[in-house]
Structures are given as structure tokens and as C-alpha cells.
């Protein structure tokens, strides 16, 4: 190895080191921050009827559930990680108008029918959700 | 540096050797950097041990309970207690909330519905003990809010159909019907108290405590729980909450949902020992008529749902005040909220208007951590008297 080549390998080694460091920084950003919103999303939901949890369902499926409540049927739709009331036997349909729910700790209730959905968990790093 | 083209041509004749030497150099540099970092890391590793040694740790288990009351879903979290004590906690909260709901609901056969019938006669009638304190506090806060928070407009709330859960309204009431009620100007000032008696000088006064009952109930239950020795807990009534004490290992942390995109958290708050966080939003109870959304927060001055605001979040140690203020500031809107907040003594306010601008009091800016959002932020300095 000549003097020239010995001196050349050092800056190239430094460049390699910097490239690896850069890859580490970019990948950790992508891993920890880019999907920060997804970290707040729940993966399961409890279906509660008359204050009793009747089932815990996965939100990683596309399925429709018919739930027998206090005044009639409530229809719940699970689609693409989200859940909502699509129909309920109540008069004002606030539960249906409330739309999709996917944030951990979020709830939706059809109070006349006493049917309640709770997306399990809390947003990552928090104890409770205010809304 | 000794770089020239001749050197490169020499090096490329032995590519494997060159790669090995480069890698070796890279590893050497890595060793140098980690060596330096290590000396910086040692004190940092020791620091948590030193800090933790001086902090008293409560037992780590957090007990979770759920119940339905006040027409909403209530979540309870309690820590630093035994399992038996945690169940006592739940029973106590459930009993208190059920009793208060029965007494204060304005449309069921309740104490308040009987009181409303008596107030319409404009005669002196007995003031039930169970609502006396709530009524007095409501009148005080209504005056402070320049009547933006006005529990005397029960008739207007009924007219819009946001109170009675059995009668749906698919279209808004007529302007004629609304104006008829507005012109009667029902206000809390119309009420007169004399020992255990009450009368209204205005037959149009009908009480609806929907904008304060939850906060008042939480305060009452919290006081009782603290008397029973509970020091670390959260009562979350349909997204409005009061947090007391601490999480087993740190302060309680509250996430605030984005009112525009419900799947996102817009901000986070760390609780200082005992605080209530209340949010009033236009997204909970509403109906759509001819493409227009009519929500449940009615302006007592014009009888219409408020359209200039999406949500208001208030932090205060007093949940009753936080509840009433969230509604009052929502109605006051982006233009008038600073005056109302100052009058009511509210330091921590976040208002999101219909254009998507976040209005923050300067004190709130210090407390809140805003997450990724596309809103503009407008800071407002409130001229409040210093805390005593």
C-alpha cells in the first residue's frame, strides 16, 4: 500500500461512517416520527351493551355486526381499522352522525339503545383522551 | 490531503484490499466517536438512579372502570389503592352520579323539571336543597360570562330538540318561534332567592344545566373522593375530565382530539396535580338539514347554533368553572373570547375557529404541546390578575 492509498482510505472510511450515520438518522425518523399518527390508532374495540362488555373485536378486519340493544338493533361496521354505527334504533341518530372512530380512547354511544363502542387503549404516551 | 488521480488508479487495482481498509477506517472512526459518547453517557446513566432514589413511588397498578351516567359514558382511573378500595371508589362515583343525574335532568320527572313548572308561575316556591348550590353558582357564572353561559334558556334548547332524547328534530325551528323566545329574554338575573324560596320575574325562564352539570358533578364527587383518602385518579365524563394527583411514575398526561379530524390528536397537556380539562365542540350532537349542520351549542342572544367556532378547550382547577367557561367562550367566539375569559378568570384557553385558526392564550401556549397540524396559531395575552 502506498502513502497515497493509505491517505485515501481514511477520508473514504469517514464518508462511509457518515453515510451509515445518515441512514441511521433517516430510518429512525421514519420509524419513530413519520407514523406518529398511527401510534394513536387503536387495534381493538369493546362493544358494551347496558354497561357490560359483550365482545372485544379487532379493527383489522372488514365486518358488520348486528347488536341487540335496549330498544332494538344497532349495526356496527368495521372497515380498514375504523369502526362506526351505520344504523341504530334510536330517534336522533347522533351515534350514526358521529361517523368513524379509530383513535385510541375514543368512544361512540347510542344512549337510547344503551350500546357503546370504545376503541381500546389511549393515544400513545397519554393516559386519557379529551374531546 | 494528498489526493490525485494517480493514487486512485493505484488503489482500484486492489479493490478488495481497498474496501477492507475503508471499512477498517470506518470502524476506527466509530470507536473514536463511541469512546467520546461513552464518557458523556455515563453521567446520564447515573442521573435517573439519583433522581428516582429521591422520589416516592406510589403502587403502580391503575384500576379502570366504566359506567353510564349524565347521558354519557364515564371512565374512571384510580391508582395507589388496593383492589378493594378501588371498587369502593367506583361504587361511590356511580352512586353520586346517578343521584345527581336524577335530580338535575330537566326533562325527566326530576327536581329541576318540577322547579321549572313552579318558576313559570312567577310565584315564590320552595328551593330544593339538592339544586340550591348549583343554581347559585350558575347565576354567578352566567353574570360573569355576560350571559353567554345562560342556563335559563331551557325552552330554546327544547325548541331545537337537543335536550329531549325522545323527540327528534330533522329541521330547524322557524325564525318566528325562535324570535318569540328570544324577545322574552330569559336570564339568570330574573331569579330571586329568599332563604329557601325562589321565584322568577320572567315566566320564560326554564332551567337547563346541560352546560354546567357535568363539571359541577365532577367537582362534588372529587371533593368526596379526596375526603375518603383517594389521592391519584381521573374522572373522564364523555371526554371532559378532572385529574387528581399523579400517574404511578409521572404526571397525568392528557391528549386533546383534533375537532376537525377525529382520528388525530391535536395537542397534549401535562396535569399539574389537580386540574380539569373541558372541551366544547360542534361535533357531538347535531342534525343536518338541506346540507347545513345545526349543532347543540345555541347562542342565547340570537337563538341560533354558533357557526364561528369549532371547539374550545379550557383548563382550570375548578371543573364547574371550566365547563361553563368552555360553553361561554365557544359562544363568544374568536372575536370576544378574550374579554369573557378575562372576566371569568380563565388563563388556559385554546379556541379553534371555523377557519381553522387556533387561538391560544399565552399561558396555554406555555402548557400545551401542539402536534402536527395545518392550522394557523394566533396568540392572545389575557390581562388577568395574578394568581393568589
Q: What is the ipTM of this complex?
A: 0.81
Model confidence pLDDT, tens digit, residues A39-56: 788 999 999 998 899 999
Work out the pLDDT band at B139, boundaries 50, 70, 90: very high
The DSSP bridge pattern shows strands B246-247 and B250-251 to be antiparallel
Q: What is the pLDDT of residue B10?
A: 45
- CB–CB of B285 and A92 under 8 A? yes
- CB–CB of A37 and B372 under 8 A? yes
Q: What is the pLDDT of residue B388?
A: 41
Task: Considering only residues A4 and A113, tell me which one the structure prediction assigns the higher pLDDT.
Answer: A113
Task: Considering only residues B108 and A75, tell me which one the structure prediction assigns the higher pLDDT.
Answer: A75
Give the CA distances from residue B155 to residues B162, B178, B304, in Å, rounded to whole numbers and listed in that order.
11, 10, 13
Interface of A with B in 72-111 (CB under 8 A): 82, 91-94, 97-103, 105-107, 109, 111
Model confidence pLDDT, tens digit, residues A74-98: 999 999 999 999 999 998 899 999 9
Interface of B with A in 156-215 (CB under 8 A): 161, 165-168
Task: Determine the average pLDDT of the residues in B96-106.
Answer: 83
- CB–CB of B371 and A12 under 8 A? no
Are A89 and A68 within 8 A, CB to CB?
no
| B23, B165, B241: residue with CB nearest A111 | B165
Are B130 and B280 within 8 A, CB to CB?
no
Alpha helices in chain B (DSSP H): 5-11, 15-53, 83-104, 111-119, 129-144, 154-160, 175-183, 213-227, 319-344, 362-367
- CB–CB of B257 and A99 under 8 A? no
For residue B5, is pLDDT > 70?
Answer: no
Model confidence pLDDT, tens digit, residues B234-273: 999 999 999 999 999 999 999 999 999 988 999 999 999 9
Nearest CA in chain A to B278: A130
The DSSP annotation for B9-54 comes to HHHTTSHHHHHHHHHHHHHHHHHHHHHHHHHHHHHHHHHHHHHHHT
Please enumerate in sequence order all residues whose Cβ is within 8 A of that of B231, keeping only pairs 6 or more positions apart, or say none. B58, B80, B244, B245
Amino acid at each position: 500500500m502506498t502513502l497515497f492509498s493509505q491517505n485515501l482510505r481514511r477520508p473514504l472510511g469517514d464518508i462511509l461512517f457518515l453515510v451509515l450515520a445518515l441512514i441511521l438518522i433517516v430510518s429512525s425518523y421514519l420509524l419513530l416520527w413519520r407514523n406518529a399518527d398511527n401510534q394513536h390508532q387503536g387495534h381493538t374495540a369493546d362493544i358494551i351493551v347496558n354497561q357490560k362488555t359483550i365482545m372485544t373485536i379487532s379493527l383489522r378486519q372488514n365486518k358488520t355486526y348486528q347488536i341487540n340493544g335496549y330498544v332494538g338493533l344497532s349495526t356496527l361496521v368495521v372497515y380498514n381499522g375504523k369502526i362506526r354505527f351505520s344504523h341504530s334504533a334510536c330517534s336522533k341518530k347522533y351515534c350514526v352522525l358521529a361517523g368513524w372512530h379509530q383513535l385510541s380512547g375514543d368512544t361512540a354511544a347510542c344512549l337510547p339503545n344503551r350500546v357503546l363502542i370504545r376503541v381500546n387503549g389511549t393515544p400513545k404516551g397519554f393516559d386519557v383522551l379529551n374531546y | 490531503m494528498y489526493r490525485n488521480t494517480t493514487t486512485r488508479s493505484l488503489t482500484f487495482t486492489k479493490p478488495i484490499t481497498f474496501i477492507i481498509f475503508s471499512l477498517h477506517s470506518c470502524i476506527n472512526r466509530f470507536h473514536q466517536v463511541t469512546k467520546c459518547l461513552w464518557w458523556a453517557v455515563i453521567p446520564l446513566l447515573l442521573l435517573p438512579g439519583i433522581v428516582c432514589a429521591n422520589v416516592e413511588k406510589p403502587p403502580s397498578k391503575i384500576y379502570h372502570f366504566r359506567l353510564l351516567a349524565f347521558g354519557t359514558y364515564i371512565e374512571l382511573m384510580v391508582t395507589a389503592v388496593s383492589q378493594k378500595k378501588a371498587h369502593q371508589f367506583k361504587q361511590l362515583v356511580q352512586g353520586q352520579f346517578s343521584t345527581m343525574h336524577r335530580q338535575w335532568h330537566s326533562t325527566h320527572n326530576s327536581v329541576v323539571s318540577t322547579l321549572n313548572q313552579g318558576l313559570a308561575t312567577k310565584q315564590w316556591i320552595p328551593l330544593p336543597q339538592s339544586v340550591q348550590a348549583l343554581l347559585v353558582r350558575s347565576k354567578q357564572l352566567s353574570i360573569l360570562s355576560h350571559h353567554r353561559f345562560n342556563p335559563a334558556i331551557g325552552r330554546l334548547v327544547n325548541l331545537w330538540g337537543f335536550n329531549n332524547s325522545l323527540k327528534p328534530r330533522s329541521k330547524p325551528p322557524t325564525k318566528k318561534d325562535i324570535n318569540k323566545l328570544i324577545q322574552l329574554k330569559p336570564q339568570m338575573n330574573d331569579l330571586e332567592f329568599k332563604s329557601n324560596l325562589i321565584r322568577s320575574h320572567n315566566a320564560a325562564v326554564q332551567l337547563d344545566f346541560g352546560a354546567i352539570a357535568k363539571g359541577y358533578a365532577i367537582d362534588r364527587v372529587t371533593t368526596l373522593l379526596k375526603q375518603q383518602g383517594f389521592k391519584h385518579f381521573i374522572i373522564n365524563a364523555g371526554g371532559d375530565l378532572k385529574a387528581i394527583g399523579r400517574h404511578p411514575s409521572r404526571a397525568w398526561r392528557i391528549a386533546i382530539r383534533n375537532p376537525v379530524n377525529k382520528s388525530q390528536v391535536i395537542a397534549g397537556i401535562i396535569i399539574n396535580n389537580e386540574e380539569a380539562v373541558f372541551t366544547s365542540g360542534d361535533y357531538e350532537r347535531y342534525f343536518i338539514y338541506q346540507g347545513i349542520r345545526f349543532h347543540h351549542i345555541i347562542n342565547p342572544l340570537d337563538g341560533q347554533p354558533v357557526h364561528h367556532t369549532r371547539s374550545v378547550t379550557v383548563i382550570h382547577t375548578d371543573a364547574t368553572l371550566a365547563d361553563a367557561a368552555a360553553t361561554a367562550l365557544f359562544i363568544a367566539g374568536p372575536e370576544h373570547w378574550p374579554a369573557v375569559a378575562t372576566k371569568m378568570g380563565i388563563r388556559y384557553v385554546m379556541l379553534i375557529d371555523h377557519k381553522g385558526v387556533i387561538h391560544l392564550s399565552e399561558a396555554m401556549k406555555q402548557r400545551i404541546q401542539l402536534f402536527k397540524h395545518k392550522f394557523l396559531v394566533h396568540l392572545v395575552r389575557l390581562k388577568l390578575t395574578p394568581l393568589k
